[in-house]
Structure 1
Amino acid sequence: MTVLEGANPGLMFLLELGVLAGAAIWGFTLDANPVVRVVAGIATPAVFIVVWALFAAGGGKNARYPLTGPWRALLEIVWFGGAAVLIGLAFTALAAAVFFAIWAINAALRMLWHQA
């Protein structure tokens, strides 16, 4: 196992944290009254957490209803893509594109190396 191959699951974990951070930042920076910002800043990452816990946690091993194959791929595209949209809204389109590109490279390497 190469260093890069061993680091790829760690990068996946950091990307998962990036999804939650992006969702929270988007919610807390909405152009709305403070109550709406606080609710959105807490509820948005909570929704992402619930979806991930139900269908993908621990590479599917710890998920309540684990998805595999194309369904897992679709979930990841929607989950990380949704976060990229929120990052784009909170920051810039470039930040969103970079985030999604890093995820896409990580996903391709996970497939190549048969990682969860």
Structure 2
Amino acid sequence: MKALLFTVAFVVELAMLVAAGWWGFTLDAGLALRLLAGLGAPLLIAVVWGVFCSPRASVRLPAPAKLAVQAACFVVAGLLLALAGHPVLGGLLVAVWAVDRAVLSHGGHPA
């Protein structure tokens, strides 16, 4: 069960980055701005995730703070996806992460 939950966590982390890029590349703007946003938004989220949330994070946070940073990353990605015209997918991204995280925090066993 835990392997499945960790796989889901990894897939939604990738989806978070894709959502941020999707938003940037679909902006109603010139090519330069779309490229900057489409590459910059996921890069910014990846840097924040790497510094604070990854298993090899350079800044070790207490569990509640780490969870808050993770939630912020997913909420931002969900909002960006909604701004790109896909609010249901944005909400689904956040919901899948939240459920997966909740089940993982309870030892990987559904309640």
* 3-state SS of paired residue (1:8): helix
Among all aligned residue pairs of Structure 1 and Structure 2, give the percentage whose two residues are the same amino acid.
30
- State the TM-score, normalizing by the size of structure 1: 0.87
- Which amino acid is 1:56 matched to? C
Distance 2:39 2:71 in 1: 22
1:96 aligns with 2:87: no
Indicate the structure whose relative CO is greater, using CA pairs within 8 Å and at least 6 residues apart: 2
User: Of 25, 38, 42, which aligns to 1:41?
Assistant: 38
How many residues matched?
Answer: 108
Give the one of 6, 15, 26 matched to 1:29.
26
- Aligned residue identity for 2:102: A
CA contact (8 A) 2:23 2:38 kept: yes
Partner residue, 1:5 = 2
Letter in 2 for 1:13: F
Give the TM-score of the pair, scaled to structure 2. Answer: 0.91
Distance (Å, rounded) in 2 between the aligned partners of 1:108 and 1:96: 19
Q: What displacement does 1:24 show?
A: 0.6
1:20 partnered with 2:14: no
> How many Å apart are 1:87 and its aligned residue?
1.1
Work out the CA distance in 2 between the residues paired with 1:42 and 1:74: 24
C-alpha offsets along residues 9-42 of structure 1, whole Å, 9 cap, x if unaligned? 1111111101110011100000111110011111
Structure 1 stretches lacking a partner, 5+ long: none
Contact 2:49–2:70 at 8 Å: present in 1 too?
no
Match in the other structure for 1:81: 75
